[in-house]
Amino acid sequence: MERFYEVMFIVRPDIEDEELDKLIAGLEQTVVNGGGVVRSTEKLGRRKLAYLVRKFSDGNYVLLTIDADGALVHEVERRLRVSEPVIKFITVRMDEEEKRIGKIKAIRATRRKLSAIAPAAPVVDAVESSPVAEVTPASA
């Protein structure tokens, strides 16, 4: 069963553009040979990292969106793990995320419909509605 994944990986900042293109092409070829589909590939450029990763303070970010099954994603992750220029990667299953976002949007839409049908309760002035005890001065 094919699912939709986003694979974000960070490559060393000192890698040449040709080597980066070769790495991306190799990963795309792995996906295609495994029966998956590459939706898109985005080079997000060089960015500063939040903390040092393998003694690097910045890296080249690449986002790969694919349709694949679990075994193929496992193979892509294995290749990223053993690839020397890749310093960090993460894979996110997006079809579950889209389903979750769809549920939230549906709940919000029903709440909007309900709030449009039933007007909000009138706001009553707190001073008028609160019981106040009369205080009488003590005679001395």
* Residue 65 burial by Cβ neighbours in a 10 Å radius (0-12, 13-18, 19+): middle
Average pLDDT of the segment spanning 77-105: 91
Higher-confidence residue: 140 or 14?
Answer: 14
Find out whether 14 and 75 touch, Cβ atoms under 8 Å. Answer: no
pTM for the predicted model, two decimal places: 0.69
Spatial separation of the C-alpha atoms in residues 122 and 118, rounded to whole Å: 12
The model's pLDDT over 124-140, given as tens digits with 9 standing for 90+, comes to 555 555 555 555 666 55
* Per-residue pLDDT at 126: 52
37 sits in which H/E element? strand 37-53
Could you give the angle at which helices 70-82 and 17-33 cross, rounded to 10 degrees?
A: 150
The model's pLDDT over 51-82, given as tens digits with 9 standing for 90+, comes to 998 899 999 999 999 999 999 999 999 999 99
Residue 62's DSSP bridge partners are 9, 43
Question: Taking 90 as the threshold, does the pLDDT of residue 100 lie above it?
Answer: no
Sign, CA dihedral 61-12-94-33, equals positive
Domains of the chain as residue ranges with CATH = 3-96 (3.30.70.60)
Spatial separation of the C-alpha atoms in residues 9 and 80, rounded to whole Å: 8
The model's pLDDT over 29-55, given as tens digits with 9 standing for 90+, comes to 999 999 999 999 999 999 999 999 889
138 sits in which H/E element? none
* Per-residue pLDDT at 138: 65
* Per-residue pLDDT at 115: 77
Question: Taking 60 as the threshold, does the pLDDT of residue 95 lie above it?
Answer: yes
